Amino acid sequence: MNRNSLLFLLILLSSVPLHAQITRKVLFLGNSYTSSNNLPQLVQNMAQSTGNTLNFDIHAPGGYTWEHHTLDNTSINKINVGDWDYVSLQGQSLEPIIGAQYFIQAGAVLRDLIYQANPCTVPLFYMTWGRENGDTVFCGDFPAVCTYESMDDALRQRYEARADVYNAELSPVSVVWRYLRDNHPGIDLYEVDGSHPTAAGSYAAACSFYTAIFKQDPTLITFDFSLSSADAATIRNATKTVVYDDMDSWDYKVLPNSNFSYSIGSGFNEVDFLGPGFGAIQDHSWNFGDGGTSTAFNPSHSYASNGTYTVQHTTSNCDVDGFHTSTTDTVIQFCDHTPTILTSKPWLCNYDTLWTQSADALQWFVQGLPIPVTDSMLPNYKQHMNAGAAFSVMATENGCSELSEPYVASPDWPGFYYDAAWAGDPCAGDTGVLMVLHFNGFLPPNALVRWYLNDSLLASENDEDTIQIWQGGEYRAMAVDPDSDCPKDSVFFSILFDCGTDTTIINDTTDTVVVVDTLDTIAGSPRLMMDHQERLLLYPNPATNVLTIACPGICNTENIEVLDAMGRLVESIRLESSVTLDVSDWPDGMYVLVRPRSGQAQRFFKQ
């Protein structure tokens, strides 16, 4: 090879990217933020400059929200093409804040449409930015939009929450914009309306999308668009810092999770299986070890005979990187003996004892979690209910271990509940009232009521259903009905006035404590009832994305109200056995769950 040929070959090789060429197909659904300066075309030009290929389609009518796209046949038909690596979803600039409920609901619909068309397609959320000076029109009703910073923070939180719930990826355009605003204010990202992107703003968005789609360093891009080479390089470097150097922060895809739990059903050798409650969006495949199979999330299966069976649960999902699977095996036995959980009476009382038949070895569980009890008696079962309300026991005889059917029951309620009312502050000398009430409307004839102040019996108040309070201290009430089915069930209630900062309410039947600055902020009323009705299970608490509300045993259908710390109604729900709330978009802080039927209140925290 002569010198000229070698020189030509070196020049040719220097123009070829060192990485393998990547081809991606992306559907862009949005509005004018997506169509401004033809964002998809900018991303395609950037990809071409690095030796990659972007094939795209776009549907972005002005002002469109996510809900608009769920109702638009053009959007739906484009999704149904199915051959997409990514579908970019951009909401209207205020939608995630002032239309949060519709934003969440429409996001779920779009995610389902995408998954049904192609389960390997990944939603790619276009995280938009706060307006240059906030929004004055909606500021009064939605304080989060009053300034650029607060609006930008709120938009980021909402897009991140949706990405987390839907196992999606993010194009963090707003984070690139904020970095440029803070560090390179000379680059103007906004048009004169303070909302839409300039050429530089769209270029920054395109750099973010290029990096999110191709997972490559944006500083390799040589396409400058209409920008000066200096400004284009500054934006590419900012995108590298924000997006490429922190790729894991913008990828919310979750690998399959095949862990599962099970409980014994009421039928012969019946097992109820339950896959992971939250996390990966995935398909399920069950092999029950006796030839039976299922693809349900929580199947039930009955075994024809006793024996040992290995249950295999395989989950799978896919994305632009291909297919992923996870497998978990669990051994289940059915023996000649069948453990059962019993009580000393046909009903259950608070602090009662549960027991089972004797065996070579025993292990008790609550909600599938082992507890340190390994004999036939489980005294004072209440002390273990912080982990849940369904008890089971594993009995081993002659080397064969079988799990009992879960025991779930609400203890008999003697009917007592409590109320507290005051208009002022008892610590400041005003008078308040504490009351013992009964669901019959009057106390049982033989009811025993005892009041205590700072652990000292207020003998003068014996068997009184109402007392007055005018000073600080811890007030306690205990009530017993000797003629009830559970005569030793003393319902306990306490209010502490520390005359400092907080008032504490304790209902000792569930070891639940509610602390508020002043009780008259709860439900916008100076009255708060705490009763002996079985407390609802709230988990996880604190909650980040979802909160599950469940009855610990059997409960009647009822309405539940969720109030914020100022007593404003946040959510009204109907509860039958359990319900899951999406709280990802709720502001952090304390909330109170009120059961209007009984006045019972429970708190939880959003963080």
For residues 304 and 363, membership in a common domain is answered with no
For residues 94 and 181, membership in a common domain is answered with yes
Checking if the pLDDT of 157 tops 90, the result is yes
**What is the H or E stretch that residue 181 is in?**
helix 173-183
For residues 479 and 522, membership in a common domain is answered with yes
For residues 130 and 154, membership in a common domain is answered with yes
Q: Does 14 reside within a domain?
A: no
Are the C-beta atoms of residues 555 and 535 closer than 8 Å to each other?
A: no
pTM above 0.95, yes or no: no
pLDDT greater at residue 468 or residue 311: 311
CA distance 155 to 94: 8
Q: What percent of the chain has pLDDT over 70?
A: 82
Last residue of a domain, one of 459, 494, 529: 529
Residue 275: which pLDDT band, with cuts at 50, 70 and 90?
A: confident
User: Helices (DSSP H) in 15-147: which residue ranges?
Assistant: 32-35, 39-49, 66-71, 73-80, 95-98, 100-117
Q: Does 11 reside within a domain?
A: no
Question: CATH number for the domain including 574?
Answer: 2.60.40.3080
Question: CATH number for the domain including 452?
Answer: 2.60.40
The amino acid at residue 509 is T
Checking if the pLDDT of 451 tops 90, the result is no
Question: Which range, of 64-78, 496-510, 543-557, averages the lowest pLDDT?
Answer: 496-510
Q: Is 417 exposed, middle or buried (0-12, 13-18, 19+ CB in 10 A)?
A: buried
Last residue of a domain, one of 298, 314, 334: 334
Mean pLDDT of all residues belonging to the chain: 84
For residues 581 and 491, membership in a common domain is answered with no
Dihedral angle sign, alpha carbons of residues 425, 429, 430, 435: positive
What is the per-residue pLDDT for 47?
Answer: 98
For residues 227 and 211, membership in a common domain is answered with yes
Q: Does 379 reside within a domain?
A: yes
Average pLDDT over residues 468-481: 79
The amino acid at residue 187 is I
Residue 574: which pLDDT band, with cuts at 50, 70 and 90?
A: confident
Question: CATH number for the domain including 244?
Answer: 3.40.50.1110
Q: Return the SS3 of 108.
A: helix
Two tokens at 540?
Answer: 């996880």
Q: Does 47 reside within a domain?
A: yes
Task: Quote the number of domains for the chain.
Answer: 5
Checking if the pLDDT of 584 tops 50, the result is yes
What is the per-residue pLDDT for 541?
Answer: 67
What is the per-residue pLDDT for 509?
Answer: 37
Checking if the pLDDT of 307 tops 80, the result is yes
Q: Does 3 reside within a domain?
A: no
What is the per-residue pLDDT for 198?
Answer: 98
For residues 367 and 241, membership in a common domain is answered with no
For residues 223 and 292, membership in a common domain is answered with no
Checking if the pLDDT of 503 tops 70, the result is no
For residues 504 and 357, membership in a common domain is answered with no
Average pLDDT over residues 533-551: 72
Q: Which domain holds residue 322?
A: 261-334
Average pLDDT over residues 206-234: 98
Q: What percent of the chain has pLDDT over 90?
A: 56
- Residues with Cβ within 8 Å of 390's Cβ and at least 6 positions away in sequence, in order, are 263, 366, 367, 368, 406, 407, 408
Checking if the pLDDT of 278 tops 70, the result is no
Residue 58: which pLDDT band, with cuts at 50, 70 and 90?
A: very high
Q: Does 361 reside within a domain?
A: yes
Q: Does 2 reside within a domain?
A: no
For residues 501 and 542, membership in a common domain is answered with no
Are the C-beta atoms of residues 257 and 282 closer than 8 Å to each other?
A: yes
What is the per-residue pLDDT for 183?
Answer: 98
Checking if the pLDDT of 150 tops 50, the result is yes
Two tokens at 514?
Answer: 């509610």
What is the per-residue pLDDT for 599?
Answer: 53
For residues 522 and 539, membership in a common domain is answered with no
What is the per-residue pLDDT for 151?
Answer: 96
Last residue of a domain, one of 309, 334, 359: 334
What is the per-residue pLDDT for 442?
Answer: 79
What is the per-residue pLDDT for 452?
Answer: 85
Burial 36-53 (b: 16+ CB within 10 A, else e): bbbbbebbbbbbeebbbe
Checking if the pLDDT of 553 tops 70, the result is no
Checking if the pLDDT of 45 tops 50, the result is yes
Q: Does 358 reside within a domain?
A: yes
Are the C-beta atoms of residues 35 and 60 closer than 8 Å to each other?
A: yes
Two tokens at 266?
Answer: 């009421």
Checking if the pLDDT of 473 tops 50, the result is yes
For residues 452 and 488, membership in a common domain is answered with yes
Strands 307-319 and 322-334, by their bridges, are: antiparallel
Residue 567: which pLDDT band, with cuts at 50, 70 and 90?
A: low
Question: CATH number for the domain including 271?
Answer: 2.60.40.10
